[in-house]
Each structure stands twice: as structure tokens, then as C-alpha cells.
């Protein structure tokens, strides 16, 4: 397959956002307002700390800030909607006031509706629309939607996950879930897919999904990947801890961009932007 055919040839359009996803890329900065996320849990307990980090990521190149009030690390317990809303509302209001595009990392329709009402523009649903009423809310607000693949729930997803054909199974699941979203009235151009790196996958599954990213392109949606400091990087690099996984993150990010992914959810916005600019420059040379 030629490099030109790997480009997504699509846009991500929703109320408040319009992004070209051909040879460009988007950086989504991770802002976890949780006490127990696997890498940055507990770092941003106050509004001031959260806003400082968000503005830093925007200055470094983040196009979108993805705010979460529930950890989805392996083994994490489900957090009630009311607590999520309490954790994230004030920060999201402030980000919106600052003119920053906000994505909300939630699988709860109550959280999604409340945050869209105060100005968030995107719902990032790691459950892959586990609540089938979620698309109706997203459609009503004209918001963007990220549909992610997960096997199980965050609490159970790493309890011996198994696939016969990883890429095919994940792709078919995403096909069905995006059909649900479109049937609910969401414009296809407002939908992004995410194969769900680390969500109910073994290390070899994650590597295969990244290696064969281009196989998801014929679903017709832009592709987002959340590779940032995930545990599979530790598995391939002699047990590295999350704080030691930046180099592996950037290597996988550049390779995934070459294979057609265009949106990257990351803790390290500045470094990711530099890696993607380098990958883009190489691909542009190869296209000449």
C-alpha cells in the first residue's frame, strides 16, 4: 500500500470544530481530574493546577483538551455521574471561557449532557457507546464523538483478554457502534474511531492494532489513538514504568501516523507535536 493511500481523506466537523485530517494531525491533551489515573492521577486537584496544565498543553500544541473525572485504568471502579460532574464542571467551564475546545472523557450520558450544556464540544466515550442513548445526546448538541473499542469494562478488561483475529474483531465492533451513532442522527463527519489501545488487549494485540492501523481507514472515519505511556510499552521495553515510557510513546506515535492515524491523545503534547512534525516531513518527501 502506498503512503498516499494511507491518508484518511476526511474531515472532523462538529458544532464548534472543523479539522482537516488528510496529511495534518491533531493533538489531544490529557487532563485527568482524578485521584487514581495510571500516570497523572492526583496531580491536578485544584482549579488553578488544572488550568495551568491545560494552558501549558495548548501552548505546546494541543488542539483539544480531553477532561476526565473517572479513571479508566485497568481494574478501576466505576465512578457515579454526580461525582464526575463535581470533579470536572468548574474546570470545563473555565476552559470554555478561555476559548479552548474541550472533549469530555466519559461513558455516562448524564455527564455528557451536563458538560455539553456548559460548552464542551466533544464526547470521548471509552465504552464504545455502551449506553445506547449516548448518541442521542451527542446528536442533539451537534457535538463531536469519539467511539472507542473496549472488551469488557475498565474494571474487568485486562482479565485474560483474548482474540482470534484482533484487527478484524475490533474493526467489526467499531463498524457496528458507528452505525448505531449514525442511525441516532449523528453526522458521520462528526465521528472519530479509536481502536482502544490498552483497553482489553494484550501487548501483542496493541502492537498489531498499531501496525495495521490502515485497515481501519475504509470504515470512513478519522482515527484517534491513545498510545501515551500505556503499559504495553513497558512490556516491550523491559518493564519500564509509566514515567519512563516517553520514547516508546513517540516511536509508536510516528509509526501510527505513517499508517493513517491522525489524532493522538497524549500526556506529552510538546514532544508529541515534534515527533509528528518529523513524521509528516518524511512522508511529504516520500510523496514527491
User: What 3-state class would DSSP assign to 105?
Assistant: strand
| E strand or H helix that includes residue 32 | strand 26-32
Question: Over the stretch 59-81, which tens digit does the pLDDT of each residue have?
Answer: 999 999 999 999 887 777 888 99
Mean pLDDT of 235-260: 92
Provide the pLDDT for residue 4: 46
Mean pLDDT of 124-147: 97
Please give the share of the chain, as a percent, with pLDDT higher than 70: 94
C-alpha cell at position 46: 485544584
Mean pLDDT of 1-16: 68
Residue 282 has pLDDT above 80, yes or no: yes
Give the closest residue to 137 by CA, choosing from 65, 81, 79, 217: 81
Question: Over the stretch 160-183, which tens digit does the pLDDT of each residue have?
Answer: 889 999 999 999 999 999 999 999
Half-sphere exposure of 9 (CA within 13 A, CB side): 10
Structural domains in the chain, CATH included, are: 3-70+85-287 (3.20.20.20)
Indicate the pTM of the whole model.
Answer: 0.92
Provide the pLDDT for residue 210: 98
Mean pLDDT of 207-222: 96
C-alpha cell at position 126: 471509552
pLDDT confidence band for 7 (50 / 70 / 90)? low
Provide the pLDDT for residue 157: 79
Residue 233 has pLDDT above 80, yes or no: yes
Residue 194 has pLDDT above 90, yes or no: yes
160: region left, alpha or beta (phi > 0 left; psi from -120 to 50 alpha): left
Residue 286 has pLDDT above 80, yes or no: no
Catalytic-residue membership of 230: yes
- The dihedrals phi and psi of 68, each to the nearest 5 degrees, come to -130, 145
Q: Which of 230, 245, 262, 273 is catalytic?
A: 230
Beta bridge partners of residue 222, listed in sequence order: 192
Residue 14 has pLDDT above 60, yes or no: yes
Provide the pLDDT for residue 75: 75
Instruction: State the average pLDDT for the chain.
Output: 91
Residue 5 has pLDDT above 50, yes or no: no
Residue 2 has pLDDT above 60, yes or no: no
Q: Which of 171, 245, 262, 265 is catalytic?
A: 265
Q: Do 78 and 86 contact (CB within 8 A), yes or no? A: no
Amino acid at each position: 500500500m502506498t503512503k498516499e493511500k494511507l491518508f484518511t481523506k476526511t474531515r472532523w466537523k462538529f458544532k464548534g470544530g472543523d479539522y482537516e485530517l488528510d496529511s495534518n494531525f491533531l493533538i489531544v491533551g490529557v487532563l485527568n481530574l482524578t485521584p487514581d489515573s495510571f500516570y497523572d492521577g492526583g496531580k491536578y486537584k485544584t482549579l488553578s493546577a488544572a488550568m495551568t496544565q491545560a494552558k501549558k498543553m495548548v501552548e505546546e500544541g494541543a488542539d483539544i483538551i480531553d477532561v476526565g473525572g473517572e479513571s479508566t485504568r485497568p481494574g478501576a471502579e466505576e465512578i457515579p455521574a454526580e461525582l464526575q460532574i463535581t470533579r470536572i464542571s468548574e474546570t470545563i467551564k473555565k476552559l470554555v471561557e478561555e476559548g479552548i475546545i474541550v472533549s469530555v472523557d466519559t461513558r455516562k450520558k448524564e455527564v455528557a449532557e451536563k458538560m455539553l450544556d456548559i460548552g464542551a464540544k466533544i464526547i470521548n466515550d471509552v465504552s464504545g457507546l455502551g449506553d445506547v442513548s449516548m448518541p442521542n445526546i451527542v446528536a442533539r448538541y451537534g457535538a463531536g464523538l469519539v467511539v472507542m473499542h473496549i472488551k469488557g469494562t475498565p474494571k474487568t478488561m485486562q482479565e485474560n483478554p483474548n482474540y482470534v483475529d484482533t484487527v478484524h474483531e475490533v474493526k467489526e465492533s467499531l463498524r457496528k457502534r458507528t452505525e448505531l451513532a449514525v442511525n441516532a442522527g449523528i453526522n458521520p463527519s462528526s465521528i472519530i474511531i479509536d481502536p482502544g489501545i490498552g483497553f482489553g488487549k494484550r501487548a501483542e494485540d496493541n502492537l498489531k492494532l498499531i501496525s495495521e492501523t490502515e485497515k481501519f481507514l475504509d470504515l470512513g472515519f478519522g482515527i484517534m489513538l491513545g498510545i501515551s505511556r500505556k503499559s504495553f510499552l513497558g512490556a516491550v521495553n523491559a518493564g519500564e514504568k509509566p514515567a519512563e515510557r516517553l520514547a516508546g510513546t513517540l516511536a509508536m506515535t510516528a509509526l501510527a501516523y505513517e499508517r493513517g492515524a491522525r489524532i493522538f491523545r497524549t500526556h506529552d503534547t510538546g514532544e508529541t507535536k515534534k515527533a509528528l512534525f518529523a513524521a509528516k516531513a518524511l512522508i511529504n518527501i516520500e510523496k514527491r
